[in-house]
Amino acid sequence: MPFDAMTDVSDEALLVAYGNGDRAAAQALTARLTPRIFGYAARVLSDRAEAEDVVQEAMLRLWKIAPEWRQGEAQVSTWLYRVTVNLCTDRLRKYGRSVDIDAVAEPEDGRESVEAALIAGDRAAALQSALDTLPVRQRQAVVLRHIDGLSNPDIARAMDIGVEAVESLTARGKRALRGLLAGRREELGYDDD
Amino acid sequence: MTMTERDPLDDFFDAARARPPAPDPALMARVLADAEAQAAAREAPVPVRSGGFAGILRGRGGWPALAGFATATAAGVWIGVALPDVTQPFLGGAAYDVNDLLPGYGTDLLVGG
């Protein structure tokens, strides 16, 4: 099947096709899934090189499991997010500054970079600077929910926690972000737009 | 917060979604290369071991021949054990003696000389 004709084919059908030797299915899956998990990993790790390593490893695990993929048991994207979340958590535990992944947020750490980004009018950069100050689990949950747009049950599966825990993590994460961003918005006149 | 009130964080989330970190083409190429390598590894023929039991088996027709041999053996044992009435007439109705197998040597064997 030509690559262009695969836009309507499900991730699962593509994965099974790849497991049966269809190279074009791998191209379609790469184009579809790699940008999604790269965006997630880059935001959570705040490091492109680290994110690239994580994404290549996660996709390699997808290629390896393809022949044994059991249809109907899980969504491919959720499975892949789960692998990526775990790889990011491992990286941050090993190399990151957040040794305790459930530690209480320290909003003061990011105020200077957040303010600089706001002065420059760069909201995406300001948000990233604020995200970097969150405990890892809160950061992961907020990115999955509010940027990648996953549902709470899918986030629960990806993070291997309950839905209530997801709601708690996103609520605490957003509260911390508001503390960093909302107050600065008012000071810098962002309420008018 | 009412339903119509907009969360101030939404502006920041919107800005972040509008500018997603994009993977380099080099990363996409590496991912695809991994996919190709995995597919090629799965399609590669399994190397045939030589020597030992595998070599002996291959010289006698491989596993299908061994399966036929095992089936014939099992059938023979079953006939002998389960159907003595069928097999007994072919044995002359009596058990074999040493003399039946080695005529003239039976006594020598029995006395050890």
The residue among A69, A55, A164 whose CA lies nearest residue B23 is A55
Provide the pLDDT confidence category of residue A102 given band limits of 50, 70 and 90: very low
* B37 occurs within a structural domain: yes
The label of the residue with tokens 């006939």 reads: B79
Distance to chain A for B41, nearest Cα, Å: 10
Most confident stretch, A82-86, B46-50, B62-66: A82-86
Given a cut of 60, whether residue A153 has pLDDT beyond it is yes
For A7-63, what is each residue's pLDDT tens digit? 789 999 999 999 999 999 999 999 999 999 999 999 999 999 999 999 999 999 999
How many other CB atoms are there within 10 angstroms of residue B81's CB atom?
9
Specify the pLDDT at position B71. 74
Specify the pLDDT at position A106. 46
Specify the pLDDT at position B73. 75
Number of domains in chain B: 1
Specify the pLDDT at position B96. 57
CB–CB contacts below 8 A, A to B? 96
Specify the pLDDT at position B6. 79
Distance to chain A for B44, nearest Cα, Å: 12
* B96 occurs within a structural domain: no
* B38 occurs within a structural domain: yes
- Tell me which residue in B8, B20, B43 faces A21 most closely, judged by beta carbons: B43
* B14 occurs within a structural domain: yes
Q: Which of A121-125, A161-165, B61-65 has the lowest mean pLDDT?
A: B61-65
* B17 occurs within a structural domain: yes
Given a cut of 80, whether residue B78 has pLDDT beyond it is no
CB atoms A34 and B31 under 8 Å:
yes
For B32-60, what is each residue's pLDDT tens digit? 999 999 999 988 776 666 666 666 666 66
Specify the pLDDT at position B81. 72
Bin A71: left if φ > 0, else alpha if -120 < ψ < 50, else beta.
beta
Provide the pLDDT confidence category of residue A158 given band limits of 50, 70 and 90: very high
* B21 occurs within a structural domain: yes
Specify the pLDDT at position B44. 78
Specify the pLDDT at position A163. 97
State the residue range of the domain holding B39: 10-43
Percent of chain A with pLDDT over 90: 68
Contact between A127 and B15 under an 8 Å Cβ cutoff? The reply is: yes
Provide the pLDDT confidence category of residue B77 given band limits of 50, 70 and 90: confident
* B5 occurs within a structural domain: no
Distance to chain A for B13, nearest Cα, Å: 6
Specify the pLDDT at position A8. 81
Phi, psi of A173 (to 5 degrees): -65, -45
- ipTM comes to 0.83
| CA gap A36, B23 in Å, rounded | 9
* B89 occurs within a structural domain: no
Given a cut of 50, whether residue A72 has pLDDT beyond it is yes
* Average confidence score pLDDT of chain A: 86
With 0-12 / 13-18 / 19 or more C-beta atoms within 10 angstroms meaning exposed / middle / buried, residue A47 is middle
